[in-house]
Amino acid sequence: MASIRSVLLDRILRILTARRLDPHMDPRILRAKLDRLALRFGGKGRIARGHVEAADIAGIPAEWIIPDRENQEGILLYLHGGGYTVCSPKTHRSLVADIAVKAGLRALVIDYRLAPEHPFPAAVEDACKAYRWLLAQGIDPAHITVAGDSAGGGLTLALLISLRDAGDPLPAGAALLSPWTDLAMSGWTHVTHARRDPMLSVEGALLAARHYLQGTSPTDPLASPLYARLDGLPPLFIHVGGNEILLDDSVRLAGLARAAGVPVELKVWPGLPHVFQAFAFLPEARASRAEIAVFLAGRAGAATGLFHAAD
């Protein structure tokens, strides 16, 4: 059952989205607004129990989130969401920092190229480049995990598929928060949950897909991993809200991955919206973050992270 706070959040989001930003706004204008909002409501970019360092990863702007207490070997590569058109490490700093601190893992958040200026497969190329950069630093792939939310969840899967097909060593596991796995938007919950999801609209998702695909088929396996071969991938850990239009993207993915022999844990959080983990005041968000941290710490071999995950 959803908490009282989540019910209040749902009502607040519905009031706010009744006057939502024009979905046809130039994404470049929207990006600046979202970055400013993230800094305003995210403590001006400061994080508790850790610090942030700017980085250049093979030409890709990025930032490291480094917990005060960390496992020296474990790395989390985080791929932010935003429909492949908006958001940045700044917008996701608070969420990623909390998971990284709880897991005791250094987190690398890359500012991958966004559409419409850089359509598919630019984001996939940048994710692969960042992962291979980590390997080039001598980091054991057994100590690397990957995570992402929404489009970043789909991008996480695209990264795994690309690495597998290229014969690269795979990371130890991947956590997916409300992943967008089907840009063809064929899931039934796009219809049944259209009025239930106050965070993500069908219109907004279709527009983001158009910006990103620009002529590429929406069923291309690296754009929509739901249509890819999934065998040989590392363990997947999926959390999704029960009110999401993207609920079927997670449910169908989990079923297909299991059929392909991939270890999968899927948890549906009843009554919760898209990427509810972003709202730290929700008890469900805190619980989900902690569970994700335990999974990532365990897969990366970061035993010290289990202490933080219980905080």
88 is catalytic: no
Catalytic residue among 94, 150, 224, 250: 150
Give residue 245's Cα distance to chain centre: 16
Q: What's the pLDDT score for residue 43? A: 44
Task: Exactly one of 80, 143, 239, 274 is catalytic; name it.
Answer: 274
Which residues 6+ apart lie within 8 Å of 176 measured at CB?
A: 147, 148, 149, 153, 156, 157, 236, 237, 238, 239, 250, 253
Identified catalytic residue from 6, 244, 284, 308: 244
Give the full edge-to-edge strand order of the sheet including 236-241. Answer: 50-57, 60-67, 106-110, 75-79, 144-149, 173-177, 236-241, 264-269
Does residue 73 carry a catalytic annotation? no
Q: Tell me the β-bridge partners of 51.
A: 66
| Calpha distance 178→101 (Å, rounded) | 21
Prediction pTM value: 0.90
Domains of the chain and CATH, by start = 4-309 (3.40.50.1820)
CA dihedral over 251, 257, 261, 265, signed as positive or negative: negative
Tokens at 284, concatenated = 């469900």
Phi, psi of 11 (to 5 degrees): -70, -40
**Residue 230 is encoded by which pair of tokens?**
């999934």
Q: Tokens standing for 301?
A: 């071999």
Catalytic site includes residue 244: yes
Residue 248, CB-side half-sphere exposure with 13 Å CA sphere: 14
Could you read off the pLDDT tens digit of each residue along the chain, which spans 311 residues? 667 766 565 555 554 554 455 656 788 787 877 777 666 544 445 677 889 999 999 999 999 999 987 666 799 999 999 999 999 999 999 999 999 999 999 999 999 999 999 999 999 999 999 999 999 999 999 999 999 999 999 999 999 999 999 999 999 999 999 999 999 999 999 999 998 888 888 998 999 999 999 999 999 999 999 999 999 999 999 999 999 999 999 999 999 999 999 999 999 999 999 999 999 889 999 999 999 999 999 999 843 334 333 34
